[in-house]
Amino acid sequence: MKQLELMKDLHVSSDKKIVMLVMDGLGGLPNESGLTELEAASTPNMDNLCRVSINGLSTPIAPGITPGSGPGHLGVFGYDPLEYEIGRGVLEALGIGLSLKPTSLAARGNFCTLDKETGVITDRRAGRIPTEKCAELVEKLSSIRIEGVDIIIRPVKDYRFALVLDGEGLSGELTETDPQRVGAKPLPVKALKPAAEKSAKYFNEWLAKAFEILKNESPANGCTLRGIAKDPGLPSYAEIYGLKSCAIATYPMYKGLARLVGMDVLDAGDTIATEIETLKKIWDKYEFFFFHVKKTDSAGEDGNFDAKVKVIEETDAIIPDIMKLGPDVLIITGDHSTPAAMKSHSWHELPVLFYAKNVRKDLVETFGETACIQGGLGHIRHVDLMPLAMAHADKLTKYGA
């Protein structure tokens, strides 16, 4: 029996509450001090909490596999990312409230900077242009028309936009156009299967027109497309776990992930401070709370060790506010590692702090990668976290006679 089917069969109602705090890209690598970002941060509240918790390390997908944000979060939510594959375009589109039809294909777009002489990418994020500038550029691109498909394009945040093509016979079996490095030209969209040839043609036609419109812009004189996909129609949290659940997140993609699994997505503002205030306001209305912190990942991708430390410390400061609410279960982890030393996602395991009122605590005294190696959870997978949370919240009945 598959795990989600087991959860669906075993879940029962209780009034206990679960908080899942995900610091995006939490895992790190040591710098010259010999400490990771989490270990270098001053985290007295997490340290105190881990002393009455059980701790360990978790693999988001499988050993050695570097996850994208979508698969990393699916694992945290209890959906095996090797079984359920989600295109990033779907997450971006849902994250900003777009509706996707069975005939829709969604892509995440990144504005980028191209060298005017060679056409190679010199900045994959166009200097992280502000959202206001992104909206201006999206307005210009909204004039593009292609016979055979309807087109929706919307700004997302900073340098990102969502592009949706809708028409009959579209397929998501397509390659991306981002070469994932500077010094290379944007790639064409290619069909991975014959049925996707028409879809590739539409996207390449759109890209050609987009490059013509953007060619005199600065710094965003080009764009790339990633994660072209259809909505896979996942079973919901209510169906699988019987939970009334909500998401507290500031970035659209993570709101999209939450919508994908049927969580209520709340308006939580733009900062950790506004997120915690949102949690306090809605505490009595839900059983499960997904609380997402984004900028640990952004700092890691920028290679900024100190900035990542600062975000971790800012998150640590809200732990007393969460604990005052009285969660029965609190899980603190990340969706994937983003070491500042690598400036990218990585395959490294994630530290996990698992607090519950009925937990069997271990001897770990500080929350960090090295300390968590000794934790009682041992080495687990992200998909194990939700069943553990449900059990500790008295939301699972016995299996078998």
pLDDT at 169: 92
The pLDDT, as a whole number, for residue 157 is 87
Q: What is the pLDDT of residue 332?
A: 98
Query: Same domain, yes or no, for 106 and 204?
Result: yes
Q: Which of 229, 246, 276 is the last residue of a domain?
A: 229
Q: Are residues 220 and 245 in the same domain?
A: no
Q: Are 249 and 94 in contact (CB under 8 A)?
A: no
Taking the C-alpha atoms of residue 285 and residue 279, their distance in angstroms, rounded to an integer, is 10
Task: Please count the structural domains in the chain.
Answer: 2
Residues 240 and 357 in one domain: yes
| Whether residue 38 is found in the same domain as residue 60 | yes
User: pLDDT > 90: what percent of the chain?
Assistant: 88
Q: Which residues of 339-361 are buried (b: 16+ CB within 10 A; e: fewer)?
A: bbbbeebbbbbbbbbbbbeebeb
Kindly report, residue by residue over 306-344, the tens digit of the pLDDT: 999 999 999 999 999 999 999 999 999 999 999 999 999
The region, left, alpha or beta by phi > 0 then psi within -120 to 50, assigned to residue 400 is left
Model pLDDT, residue 85: 80
Is the domain of 201 the same as that of 187?
A: yes
pLDDT, one tens digit per residue, over 88-139 is 898 889 888 888 889 999 999 999 999 999 999 999 999 999 999 999 999 9
208 part of a folded domain: yes
pLDDT value of position 53? 98
Phi, psi for residue 7 in degrees, rounded to 5: -60, -40
Q: What is the pLDDT of residue 36?
A: 98
- Predicted confidence (pLDDT) at residue 303 exceeds the cutoff of 70: yes
Q: Which of 229, 246, 281 is the last residue of a domain?
A: 229
Sequence length of the chain is 401
Residues 306 and 210 in one domain: no
Residue 200, CB-side half-sphere exposure with 13 Å CA sphere: 16
Span 153-181, average pLDDT: 94
| pLDDT tens-digit map of 349-376 | 999 999 998 999 999 999 999 999 999 9
Q: Report if residue 369 sits inside a domain.
A: yes
pLDDT digits (tens, 9 = 90+) for 258-274: 988 999 999 999 999 99
| Residues 147, 204 within the same domain | yes
Q: Is the per-residue pLDDT at 256 higher than 90?
A: no
Instruction: Please tell me the predicted confidence (pLDDT) of residue 253.
Output: 83
Side chain identity, residue 256: G
Rounded Cα gap, residues 41 and 91, in angstroms: 31
pTM for this entry: 0.83
Q: Give me the pLDDT at residue 94, please.
A: 87
Domain assignment of residue 92, yes or no? no
Q: What local confidence, expressed as pLDDT, does residue 1 receive?
A: 55
- CA separation for the pair 94, 100 (Å, rounded): 8
Q: The domain containing residue 219 runs over which residues?
A: 97-229
Same domain as 358, residue 278: yes
- The CATH number linked to 331 is 3.40.720.10
Residue 401 domain flag: no
pLDDT tens per residue, range 111-124 = 999 999 999 999 99
pLDDT confidence of residue 46: 98
- 220 and 243 fall within a common domain: no
In a domain, 331, yes or no: yes
Residue 400 counted as domain residue: no
Report if residue 203 sits inside a domain: yes
Residue with tokens 């920028």: 302
Give domain status of residue 68, yes or no. yes
pLDDT (tens digit, 9 = 90+) per residue, 198-251? 999 999 999 999 999 999 999 999 999 999 999 888 889 999 999 999 999 998
**Same domain flag for 184 and 237:** no
pLDDT digits (tens, 9 = 90+) for 50-83: 999 999 999 999 999 999 888 999 999 999 999 8
Token pair, residue 210, equals: 């987009």
- The chain-wide mean pLDDT, for the chain, equals 95
Same domain, 244 and 361: yes
Using CA atoms, how far residue 146 sits from 54, 88, 139, 191, 211, in Å, is 56, 23, 16, 18, 15
DSSP structure string for 349-397: -EEEEEEETT----S--S-SHHHHTTSTTEEEEGGGHHHHHHHHTT-B-
The amino acid at residue 40 is: A
Same domain, 23 and 46: yes
Domain stops at, among 229, 244, 270: 229
